């Protein structure tokens, strides 16, 4: 990583490297109806007691403060956000907050057959649904309990409800690497953009193996060779909306079909720390300025100690001032964060 001059904090929610923070991911729960192998261990997972979770009032108050500091987009995640009771009420409360332009969600899609319409009516604008494989048996194995048919129904229900939908697949050698083209085609047939996520070594590296790592260039190679095309960058130069870099199929074999586009979240091999615009709030109210480190500031403790909005604001600005220049995920897993992905929400 190139070293850049650390600047003083010049405005609220601009960090010491001049990155403007406008995006907040809020984990609503560390619980989930699935048990994905790369996200949580099979045994020994300790879930936080419900009393530790932020209440709706606390989430609403914190998001209002973040909005005042420049956050415009919020992503609800988990665990699985749709297992949080009264999720519809929460979405409508958050969507009504002044200056919050877009409330979006990342979900495994399992509850979307029933919830897609009500969520859209409550103010949800967009959902990223995780789908790593189209093979029902492999899906069951990867999620340890998932139901592929329901998730596909959930994707179709989200589209029918008018939500913007993207698909997320963690790319894993020896698991779903041979399905990358099929997943692209599945998404494109529905007018959806597929996105592939490089496997990240959370959980102290215990759920990660470097042999399974499929890099962004390998993913591009698989797609280009399958479809007989070139992949050309298609992010419109806009790297502020999220970590995904977009690529478009180009060349005669692409048939000039519009929408043949994919995203790659290349946190490991082509990291995007220079343009990181995000913060993460865990289900228990801890503010993480980077996914790759375990240290955090408890905003919930400030609220529950009777702190004022100004106290919270100061803590947020201080935390942002200390946001590190970049992650240090090690490809071997050494130095990886101890926390499980399920506890922070991706």
**Residues 6 or more apart in contact with residue 121 via CB below 8 angstroms:** none
- Of 76-84, 183-191, 202-210, 328-336, the segment contacting ligand SF4 by CB under 6 A is 76-84
CB neighbours of 75 closer than 8 A, spacing ≥ 6?
23, 24, 25, 26, 104, 105, 106
The entry of ligand SAM, ligand SF4, none near residue 202 (CB within 5 to 8 angstroms by kind) is ligand SAM
Coil, helix or strand at residue 35: coil
| 215 lies in the site for ligand SAM, by CB under 6 A | no
Least distance (Å) between residue 51 CB and ligand SAM: 22
Query: What DSSP line would sit under 288-335, residue for residue?
Result: ES-TT----EEHHHHHHTT--HHHHHHHHHHHHHT--SS----TTSTT
CA 45 vs CA 83, 250, 338, 343: distances in Å: 17, 45, 13, 10
Which of residues 34 and 329 has its CB atom nearest to ligand SF4 in the complex? 34
Using the rule CB under 6 A, give the single segment among 11-19, 150-158, 196-204, 274-282 that binds ligand SAM. Answer: 196-204
The CA-CA-CA angle for residues 138, 139, 141, to 5°, reads: 60
Selected range binding ligand SAM among 103-111, 225-233, 236-244, 307-315, rule: CB under 6 A:
103-111
Residue among 23 and 34 whose Cβ is closer to ligand SF4: 34
243 lies in the binding site for ligand SAM (CB under 6 A)? no
Tell me which DSSP letter residue 98 carries: T
Q: What is the spatial distance between Cα 223 and Cα 96, in angstroms, rounded to a whole number?
A: 41
* Residue 337 interacting partner from ligand SAM, ligand SF4, none (CB closer than 5 to 8 Å by kind): none
Please tell me what DSSP assigns to residue 241: S
The angle that helices 56-68 and 87-95 make with each other, rounded to 10 degrees, is 20
- Cα separations in angstroms, 177 against 29, 125, 127: 30, 30, 24
Cα–Cα distance for residue pair 41/161, rounded to 1 Å: 34
Q: Please say whether the dihedral angle defined by the alpha carbons of residues 213, 74, 185 and 34, taken in this order, is positive or negative.
A: positive
Q: How far is the CB of 10 from ligand SF4 (least distance, A)?
A: 36
Candidate residues 14, 29, 82, 108; the one interacting with ligand SF4 per rule CB under 6 A: 108
Q: Is 193 in the site for ligand SAM (CB under 6 A)?
A: no
Neighbours of 234 (CB within 10 A): 16
Give the number of residues in contact with ligand SAM, rule: CB under 6 A: 20
Q: Contact with ligand SF4 (CB under 6 A): which of 54, 73, 80, 326?
A: 80
Is residue 83 at the binding interface for ligand SF4, with CB under 6 A as the rule? Answer: no
- Shortest distance (Å) from residue 187 CB to ligand SF4: 18
Site track for ligand SAM across 75-94, x = CB under 6 A: --xx-x--------------
39 binding ligand SAM? (CB under 6 A) = yes
Stretch binding ligand SF4 (CB under 6 A), from 29-37, 275-283, 315-323, 328-336? 29-37
Of 14, 21, 22, 38, the one binding ligand SAM (CB under 6 A) is 38
**Count of alpha carbons within 13 Å of 97, Cβ hemisphere only?**
26
Two tokens at 1? 């990583």
Nearer to ligand SAM, 285 or 337 (CB): 337
Structure tokens at 86: 């009264």
79 binds ligand SF4 (CB under 6 A): yes
Residue ranges that bind ligand SAM, judged by CB under 6 A: 32, 38-39, 77-78, 80, 106-108, 130, 168, 170, 197, 199-200, 202, 341-342, 345-346
Residue ranges that bind ligand SF4, judged by CB under 6 A: 32, 34-36, 39-40, 78-80, 108, 130, 143, 342
């Amino acid at each position: 990583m190139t070293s850049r001059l650390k600047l003083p904090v010049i405005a609220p929610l601009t960090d010491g490297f001049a990155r403007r923070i406008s995006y907040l991911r809020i984990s609503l729960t560390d619980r989930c109806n699935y048990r994905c192998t790369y996200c949580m261990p099979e045994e020994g997972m300790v879930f936080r007691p419900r009393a530790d979770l932020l209440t709706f009032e606390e989430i609403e108050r914190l998001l209002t403060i973040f909005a005042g500091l420049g956050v415009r987009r919020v992503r609800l995640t988990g665990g699985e956000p749709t297992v949080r009771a009264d999720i519809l009420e929460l979405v409508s409360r958050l969507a009504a907050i002044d200056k919050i332009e877009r409330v979006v969600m990342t979900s495994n899609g399992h509850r979307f057959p029933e919830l897609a319409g009500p969520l859209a009516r409550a103010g949800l604008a967009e959902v990223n649904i995780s789908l790593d494989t189209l093979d029902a048996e492999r899906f069951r194995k990867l999620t340890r309990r998932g139901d592929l048919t329901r998730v596909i129904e959930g994707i179709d229900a989200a589209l029918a409800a008018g939500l913007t939908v993207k698909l997320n697949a963690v790319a894993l050698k020896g698991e779903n690497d041979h399905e990358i083209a099929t997943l692209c085609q599945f998404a494109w047939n529905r007018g959806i953009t597929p996105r592939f996520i490089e496997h990240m070594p959370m959980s102290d590296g215990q759920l990660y193996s470097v042999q399974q790592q499929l890099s962004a260039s390998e993913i591009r190679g698989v797609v280009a060779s399958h479809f007989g095309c070139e992949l050309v960058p298609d992010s419109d130069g806009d790297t502020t909306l999220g970590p995904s870099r977009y690529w478009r199929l180009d060349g005669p074999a692409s048939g000039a079909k519009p929408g043949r586009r994919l995203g790659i979240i290349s946190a490991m091999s082509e990291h995007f720390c220079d343009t990181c615009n995000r913060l993460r709030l865990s289900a228990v109210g801890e503010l993480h300025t980077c996914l790759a480190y375990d240290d955090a500031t408890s905003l919930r403790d400030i609220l529950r100690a009777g702190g004022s909005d100004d106290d919270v604001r100061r803590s947020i600005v201080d935390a942002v001032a200390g946001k590190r220049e970049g992650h240090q995920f090690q490809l071997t897993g050494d130095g990886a964060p101890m926390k499980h992905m399920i506890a922070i929400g991706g």
